[in-house]
Amino acid sequence: MARCFRLRFAARAACAVVCAWACLSAPAAAQSDRSAARVDRLAQQVERAESVRQVKRLQETYAQYSQFGLWDEMAALFADDAQFVRGQDSVRGRPAIGDYFLDSFGEGHPGLLPGALHTQLVVRPLINVSADGETAEGRWWEWSLTGRYGGDAAWAGGIYENEYVRERGTWKIARAIYHPMIAGPYESGWRNVDADQKKVPYHFTTDETGVPVPELPASAPVLDATSDPAMRLAGLERRISAMNDEDLVRNLQNAYGYYIDRKLWDDVIDLFAADAVLEIANVGIYDGPGSIRRALERNGPAGLQYGQLNDHLQLDTIVSIDPNGLEARSRGIEFGMLGETDSGAAFFTLAVFENRYVKQDGVWRIREMRLFPVMKTDYYDGWAKSAVVDPPPAEAHAPDRPVPSADTMTANAIPEFFAPNPVTGKPVRLPAGAKSVGAQRLLAAPSAPRPPAPAGPLEARIAEAERRLAVSKAWDGVENVSAAYGEYLDDLDFGPLAAIFAERGNKEIPFTGFYVTRESIAKRDEGRADPSANGPRARTFLSIHLRTQPVILVAEDGRSAAIRTRLFQPGSSLDRALGFSAGMYNDQAVLEDGIWRLWSVAIDEPYFLTPSWSQGWASQKEPDPVWLGPARVTAGDYPPDIPLTELGERQSGFRGGTGTTVAWPQILPMWFHYRNPVSGRTPQRYWPDCVPCVQFPETSMTNHGYLLPPN
């Protein structure tokens, strides 16, 4: 009987264990299913965020290949049945596109002819990926310098409205349509292409500007619910880290350009690793920060002096993060506008930069910088007549060692394309007789161990991955809405311009003041509509606002950001080039109702200007009295909510602001919204919030529930 009792007790105990296991395992299984679904959704979002960058990379790669006449590699970026339209020319199919590049750009010659220049700078990208993630549209401005030494030289500029497609899993250009806007020979400068320069239709609405990729709907199907979510998440974490790191490296490179512009040598040196090297082709190699400082001082002591222009635009930059997460590389084009009014000398320069970066203690630093000059020309002669060769540096600025013979820039030299063709996946093929320079390392690969993989509870890791993805999605969303601002301003489309601002946003009207709230911005501009709305008036004047070289800092929650962009502003009319001027935008953006919108736009200008195309920026010996006089206030019956005169130190020196006006060739003050990204050095003029928000806190986004980006 005792035995029977023991058997019955054992049976009841076994049943209890089974029931308890079922009760515990059911919630655990449900949680696992939820985690798998959440990871799958994250995977879809990562792929779509990467698509925006892959599309940008296509166009930047197109420009880099074009610079050296790699017509076959350019054609390989296109889909099988792609179409290429340039003005009145139209060709279809990849082979025909390749033939067109060869004949029209290369004069039937693979690569560039001796002495030829064919640089297409693409800026101001505005990318929209479709809801299904399989197609995309993109708008770019192209600014090109073409010609040949001993022949002709020409400028051109226009807008690309492109379509992209994911074909067999790879993003390609499906349709490229170039709308020429300005063009002309170097001697007389560019001018409008048409007597009535029509607007190029936008592929986007005002809301779509701030949404590079539509959010996945809640009803989106789970595509993979069977893979181990923890293992799958680990791969996604690495891909998100690569995007985060790409943002940091791009910011680092663009910040370098701004520091070089102002001859802020201390800040430049801060960006380099302790064992860094600088190679300047055909000059030499400088080892370590001390020697690099010596190289910088070839261009004079720190700080811009009266009448000096030292602008170095960082453009067409491609960034790749090494799989180990410790090293990165970049390749880009540096476009220089240099000179000084004292001597009357002025120059244009082009160079390719090839850099390696290292992550040390969580901070990216420049470790190898290589500069390969492509062109330096006298402003007043142009690249068809002038090929300036700088003399060797004086002994005080001499390099530590010579450049390796493999890196010498000769007529057939092409700086290395370290990345394979993004469509074929194959190494870039150079024309017959060309040599690749910059291929070998200058320093041994960093030996630090790979950072440990993220650890912790699965749900916490998923949440952190989602947050970090939001930060990189913000980078692209902010660049999009920044580009839209330039597009609408170029076209005098003031209704849409106001619509891309946040409800409580603010916008500066140059030399006048700030208008606060979207309603106020719209009302201020309603009398400045497109001239075509006021009757059959031809559009004969173009003021082009190319917002380039962004430094974008995103708040940790991915809902707000600060952005600095350079204003590269060529002007054009029906009968002549109007020369250049330049400014600096210090803006903020917020994620409002799921759409990136501008919170604050402030423009500091003009840092330099040309009285005319023929005279150039070095001709202005003294400030123009017109610029030193009172500002032309164009507020009419609708004055600003905050006049510039009420902003104190922040507007000191700027026309219409406070204090004595500073005008070119005097050196305007320059403000920064960020500290040095490596050392944390605080700039002399540091203003991390919106321009009016210190004196008028109600304009600060922090008082409306948004975070300032960390810095």
**What was the pLDDT predicted at 332?**
98
pLDDT score of 704 more than 90:
yes
Structure tokens at 251: 């910011």
Question: Distance (Å, rounded) from C-alpha 251 to C-alpha 653?
Answer: 28
Going by C-alpha positions, the residue among 551, 587, 681 that lies closest to residue 248 is 551
Indicate the Cα dihedral angle 633, 649, 554, 600, nearest 10°. -20
Question: Distance (Å, rounded) from C-alpha 320 to C-alpha 330?
Answer: 6
pLDDT tens by residue, 529-566: 554 444 445 788 899 999 999 999 999 999 999 999 99
Question: Distance (Å, rounded) from C-alpha 337 to C-alpha 632?
Answer: 28
- Which is more confident, 484 or 449? 484
Residue at token pair 């923890």: 230
**What was the pLDDT predicted at 447?**
84
pLDDT tens by residue, 72-102: 999 999 999 999 999 999 999 999 999 999 9
**What was the pLDDT predicted at 539?**
85
Domains of the chain: 45-210 (3.10.450.50), 229-406 (3.10.450.50), 458-704 (3.10.450.50)
pLDDT tens by residue, 405-422: 899 999 999 999 999 999
- What are the strands, taking DSSP E only, across 244-362? 272-280, 284-287, 308-321, 327-340, 345-360
What does the DSSP assignment read for 444-504? PPP-PPPPPPP-S-HHHHHHHHHHHHHHHHHHHHHHHHHHHHHHHHHTT-HHHHHHTEEEE
- The C-alpha R_g of the chain, in whole angstroms, comes to 28
Mean pLDDT of 483-501: 96
pLDDT score of 14 more than 70:
no
Residue 526: pLDDT band with limits 50, 70, 90: confident
Handedness of CA 600, 605, 607, 613 (dihedral sign): positive
Residue 24: pLDDT band with limits 50, 70, 90: very low
**What was the pLDDT predicted at 634?**
57
Q: Do 497 and 485 meet the contact criterion of CB atoms below 8 Å apart? A: yes
Buried b / exposed e over 471-505, threshold 16 CB at 10 Å, is bbbbbbbbbbbbbbbbbbbbbbbbebbbbbbbebb
Residue 7: pLDDT band with limits 50, 70, 90: very low
The mean predicted confidence, pLDDT, of the chain is 92
pLDDT score of 297 more than 50:
yes
Q: Which residues contact 9 (CB under 8 A, 6 or more apart)?
A: none
Q: Do 409 and 281 meet the contact criterion of CB atoms below 8 Å apart? A: yes
Percent of all residues in the chain with a pLDDT value above 70, rounded to a whole number = 94
First to last CA, the chain: 79
pLDDT tens by residue, 137-159: 999 999 999 999 999 999 999 99
**What was the pLDDT predicted at 497?**
97
pLDDT score of 270 more than 70:
yes
Residue at token pair 């001390």: 290
Residue 637: pLDDT band with limits 50, 70, 90: confident
**What was the pLDDT predicted at 451?**
74
pLDDT tens by residue, 374-400: 999 999 999 999 999 999 999 999 999
- Which is more confident, 345 or 29? 345
Residue 584: pLDDT band with limits 50, 70, 90: very high
Going by C-alpha positions, the residue among 592, 488, 619 that lies closest to residue 544 is 488
Residue 17: pLDDT band with limits 50, 70, 90: very low
Residue at token pair 């806190």: 697
Mean pLDDT of 39-64: 97
Residue 427: pLDDT band with limits 50, 70, 90: very high
Question: Distance (Å, rounded) from C-alpha 307 to C-alpha 557?
Answer: 43
For β-strands 513-516 and 642-643, DSSP reports them as: antiparallel
Mean pLDDT of 673-697: 97
Element housing 704 (H / E):
none
Mean pLDDT of 478-501: 97
Edge-to-edge, what's the strand order for the sheet holding 363-378?
284-287, 272-280, 363-378, 345-360, 327-340, 308-321
Whole-structure pTM value: 0.94
Coil, strand, or helix at residue 320?
strand
* Alpha-carbon 323 to chain mean position: 23
pLDDT tens by residue, 600-613: 999 999 999 999 99
Q: Do 86 and 62 meet the contact criterion of CB atoms below 8 Å apart? A: no
Buried b / exposed e over 121-147, threshold 16 CB at 10 Å, is bbbbbbbbbbeebebbbbbbbbbbbbb
Going by C-alpha positions, the residue among 81, 131, 59, 72 that lies closest to residue 106 is 72
pLDDT score of 318 more than 70:
yes
Question: Distance (Å, rounded) from C-alpha 685 to C-alpha 672?
Answer: 6
